[in-house]
Amino acid sequence: MKTKTIVHKSAAPIYAAAATWLLYALLFPLYKLPHYLLAAGAAAVVGIVARLLCPNTVEEVPEEPKTTGNPELDKMIEDGRKAIAEMKRLDDNIADPTISAQIVRLQELSGKIFAQVEQNPEKLPQIRKFMNYYLPTTLKILNAYDRMGEQGVAGENISSTMHKVEGMMATIITAFEKQLDNLFGAEAMDISTDMVVLENMMAREGLSDDPLHRTAQQTEPAQAEPDDGGITLEL
């Protein structure tokens, strides 16, 4: 859980300095500038001593989680944060460099998926199956791999299972990549439509350097002037 540091400043130096001024005013004259300078110096010294004797206190308190106003989105953000933290732990714990690098790749992809949905909450339904099955199952498999690797035994069951996990990691990464890619489906379609419209408009205005459009413009037959049979109307 994230925490934040709160510093409680001690009021003792302020009270001590104020008391020094008051006591000095009662015991000594305050008619001239040197008198005020002496009083200020005494108050400063007392204030410094009081700060040393009564320092500021520091408190670590749990940081309140930020909310988006959407409970489902908040849960996704929190679950995503926990999943990435668990991947980081597994990466640190698993010695195999290939598996470790693949876990790092899963961290990167997961972070991009969560960031994309956090910025575009309307995409949340697209990752429900990812959040409810694919992600937790992947973590379950990796945790089993981690536990088996810690046993230090090359038995048939352990070795066979670990080899299967190692062979499946590439498939899992591909699935995560496709999940991220799918989140951009609507945007890709919108951009493609905009590009087609823009290209056609530029071609019609003669602003396109596309040889196909230029050739089509050049070969387009010119509209003939209407034949009035040589009759001229005079008004």
What is the dihedral angle through the alpha carbons of 172, 173, 179, 182, rounded to the nearest 10 degrees?
Answer: -130
Count of Cβ atoms closer than 10 Å to residue 61 Cβ: 9
Are the CB atoms for 32 and 85 separated by under 8 Å?
no
User: Is residue 225 domain-resident?
Assistant: no
Using 50, 70 and 90 to split pLDDT, how confident is the model at 37?
confident
Predicted confidence at residue 154, as pLDDT, reads 79
Predicted confidence at residue 20, as pLDDT, reads 85
* Residue 229 clears pLDDT 50, i.e. is over it: no
Average pLDDT over residues 9-34: 81
Number of domains in the chain: 3
**How far apart, in Å, do the first and last CA atoms of the chain sit?**
92
Domain range for 143: 71-183
Q: Are residues 76 and 179 in the same domain?
A: yes
Using 50, 70 and 90 to split pLDDT, how confident is the model at 65?
low
User: Is residue 113 domain-resident?
Assistant: yes
The CATH number of the domain holding residue 105 is 1.20.5
State pTM to two decimals.
0.59
User: Is residue 28 domain-resident?
Assistant: yes
Q: Are residues 50 and 125 in the same domain?
A: no
Instruction: Name 61's bridge partners.
Output: 4
Domain's final residue, options 37, 62, 87: 62
User: Is residue 167 domain-resident?
Assistant: yes
Q: Are residues 48 and 34 in the same domain?
A: yes
Count of Cβ atoms closer than 10 Å to residue 137 Cβ: 11
pLDDT in tens, 130-139: 999 999 999 9
Q: Which residue has the higher pLDDT, 175 or 201?
A: 175
Most confident of 2-11, 130-139, 219-228: 130-139
User: Is residue 228 domain-resident?
Assistant: no
User: Is residue 232 domain-resident?
Assistant: no
